[in-house]
Chains A and B, each alone.
Chain A
Amino acid sequence: MGALTLGHFVVLGGILFALGLFTVITRRNAIGILMGVELVLNSANINYVAFARYANAGYDGQVFAIFVIMLAAAEAAIGLAIVLGIYQSFETIDVEATNRLRQ
């Protein structure tokens, strides 16, 4: 049990990914599914930064993590806008109930 290693962070990223996947699979609430996606993206970011640090790869991993955060922001904005649009049309955000494309 010495210093921190790459394995610590990889396992943490794996656990976060598994929990995010579990959230995406089990939730019926559309916002809950989006939260699961955020967990998965965060686990990927941890792996990016950890590998970049322990391979001494300069700033590439961190730059990619920033791009992932940017895409997550865009995804959250669009996704939540769609969820609000669905709520206006269907009065619910249960993804099992919103199975029609037209009203």
Chain B
Amino acid sequence: MSLTVAVFYLLAAITVGSALGVAFANSIVYSAFALMGTLLGVAAMFVLLGADFLGVVQLLVYVGGILVLTLFAVMLTHRISDVNVSNRAVGRLPAAVLVGIAFAWMVHVARRATWVVKDPGAPAPTTYGIGNAFLRQYALPFEIASLVLLAALIGAIVVSRKEVKA
């Protein structure tokens, strides 16, 4: 087993273990902190796949932004006395059966498919190429993305502000 494969299995264990924490933790606060492990593991996976820029984006946006936002929401809505927060909507057994069927089906399809796999070659810095892609063939989606973010920003403020009763 080469070093890369060993590193992959270590990182995959961290990622999946943290994801198990997200799925099974009784406290929503533990879930939020376990989510951090998963997001860090996925960032490491991106680096392992040679996508260095994407790994940094994952760190900045997910770990630095979305996770902090989630923690804020947890702290603002979590009441210590509220034990019902971790109640289940569906029992764990039916959900596990359903998810197990979905997972087995995915693995079945993945094993049957024939994939065109080429030699990926050595990892190279990707920032230059991604910047070029954003300003050439993806210029329009890139601009629309900025509009989407602006709309989301304004929408979040409008939705979450306190209503002033006239």
Docked complex: A46-91 residues within 8 A CB-CB of B? 46, 49-50, 53-56, 58-60, 62-63, 65-67, 69-74, 76-78, 80-85, 87-88
Main SS of the interface on chain B? helix
Would B77 and A83 count as touching, CB distance under 8 A?
A: yes
Q: Which of A4, A69, A84 contacts B58, CB < 8 Å?
A: A69
Would A19 and B22 count as touching, CB distance under 8 A?
A: yes
In the complex, B162 has a CB within 8 A of chain A: yes
A32 and B31 in contact (CB under 8 A), knowing A16-B15, A23-B23?
yes
Docked complex: A1-60 residues within 8 A CB-CB of B? 1-12, 14-23, 25-29, 31-32, 34-36, 38-39, 42, 45-46, 49-50, 53-56, 58-60
* Chain A residues closer than 8 Å to B156, beta-carbon distance: 77-78, 80-81
Min CB–CB distance A85 → chain B (angstroms) = 5
* Chain A residues closer than 8 Å to B110, beta-carbon distance: 7, 10-11, 14
Residues on A close to B: CB < 8 A?
1-12, 14-23, 25-29, 31-32, 34-36, 38-39, 42, 45-46, 49-50, 53-56, 58-60, 62-63, 65-67, 69-74, 76-78, 80-85, 87-88, 92-96
* Chain B residues closer than 8 Å to A83, beta-carbon distance: 73, 77
* Chain B residues closer than 8 Å to A84, beta-carbon distance: 73, 76-77, 160
5 contacts between A and B (CB under 8 A): A19-B23, A22-B96, A69-B57, A81-B159, A87-B77
Question: Total A-B residue pairs with C-beta atoms closer than 8 Å?
Answer: 235
A54 and B45 in contact (CB under 8 A), knowing A25-B90, A26-B95?
no
The CA of A22 and the CA of B4, in the complex, are separated in Å by 30
Main SS of the interface on chain A? helix
Q: Which of A14, A49, A59 contacts B129, CB < 8 Å?
A: A59
* Chain B residues closer than 8 Å to A72, beta-carbon distance: 61-62, 66
Would B28 and A12 count as touching, CB distance under 8 A?
A: no
Docked complex: B45-90 residues within 8 A CB-CB of A? 45-46, 48-51, 53-54, 57-58, 61-62, 65-66, 69-70, 72-74, 76-77, 82, 84-90
* Chain B residues closer than 8 Å to A11, beta-carbon distance: 107, 110
Q: Kindly supply a per-residue 1/0 record for chain B positions 148-163, scoring 1 wherever the CB is within 8 Å of any chain A CB and 0 otherwise.
A: 1101110111011010
A1 and B1 in contact (CB under 8 A), knowing A14-B110, A26-B89, A77-B156?
yes
* Chain B residues closer than 8 Å to A46, beta-carbon distance: 42, 45-46
Would B85 and A62 count as touching, CB distance under 8 A?
A: no
